Amino acid sequence: MVELSVVVPVFNEQEVISSFYTRIRKVLDEFPSQSELIFVDDGSGDSTVEILDSIAKEDIRVRVVKLSRNFGHQAAVQAGIDQSVGSAVVTIDCDLQDPPEVIALLVEKWRMGADVVHAVREQRAGETKFKRLSASLFYRMMKKISDSPVVLDSGDFRLMSRRTIVAIQSLPERQRYIRGLVTWVGFQQDLVYFHRD
């Protein structure tokens, strides 16, 4: 039985995918239970798919889902979630701004009873003042206009329990905003804070 699925949407990531895999592999090696790593290629035009296929040949935990064209980040995340079988699912981008090592903290909170664990950025290294300000304004605006709680300074890096995944999959939305849906479905939610690279 797979305890942990990690879903990674990718698009033209040939420059970073090997470094990401090296780091995430070390994280998954620390789990005594079975895990899977699902890369979802969102129509890359570079050598991302070839690199992923090579990785998958060497590591039985790795699966590569290839979308027929670029559908966008949220569609790629949903495709990976739909392919996952783990009791818990982590979604993370492969650009290494979100450190894979934080996954251990997300899993710890899940094992303590949380259904959703949001990774929240305490610092955003290397980003301009404008980027930090615009991101801050976006999250605060969304919080004001949304009927659902909005977790400030969190992105798509999170852990969701299987029952959370089932609830999200049952929703009729076709253009999904997973950050919103994951809080809207409820269940016990928790936070882990980290410094973003």
CB 103 within 8 A of CB 92: yes
The answer on pLDDT for 14 being more than 70 is: yes
Assess contact for 98 and 120: CB atoms under 8 A. no
Residues β-bridged to residue 195? 123
Residue type, position 93, single letter: D
Contact 99, 16 (CB under 8 A): no
By DSSP bridging, strand 116-124 and strand 189-196 are parallel
pLDDT, position 91: 96
* Prediction pTM value: 0.85
- Residue 197: in which H helix or E strand, if any? none
pLDDT one-digit tens code per residue, 69-105: 999 999 999 999 999 999 999 999 999 989 999 999 9
Indicate whether 37 pLDDT > 90.
Answer: yes
Q: Do the beta carbons of residue 190 and residue 182 sit within 8 Å?
A: no
The pLDDT confidence band at residue 192, using thresholds 50, 70 and 90, is: confident
Amino acid type, 161: S
The answer to whether 177 and 146 have CB atoms below 8 angstroms apart is no
